Amino acid sequence: MTTTATVDFVYPEDIQLSSPPLSGKFYVECADVDGGIYATQDMALDISAVDFKAVLNSDCSFIRDLFNVKKLTDTYSGVAWGVEF
């Protein structure tokens, strides 16, 4: 027996696909040891590594100071951070 499938992705007409430079905000979800999920406040895409760490320490206090954040890249498409526990 052979089975095949075709999947078509149809985007709505009013969708806007991103192109550099990106703008907007993002948030991070943190999970505690009991499985609780917490979300940080919205952050700008160009947030600094210091401010990113401060938001995580504040909004996910159960991981306060258990990690380091460092800026990995800074390009037209955004900033990437490394988070080390």
Token pair belonging to 8: 């078509």
Q: What is the pLDDT of residues 21-70, one digit of tens each?
A: 667 788 888 888 888 888 999 998 778 888 888 998 999 888 888 877 77
Is 80 exceeded by the pLDDT of residue 4? no
Task: Please say if the pLDDT value at position 76 is more than 50.
Answer: no
Highest mean pLDDT: which range of 4-13, 20-29, 30-39, 72-81? 30-39
Instruction: Calculate the alpha carbon distances from 57 to 51, 68, 72, 73 in Å.
Output: 10, 11, 20, 22
pLDDT at 2: 57
CA distance 57 to 28: 12
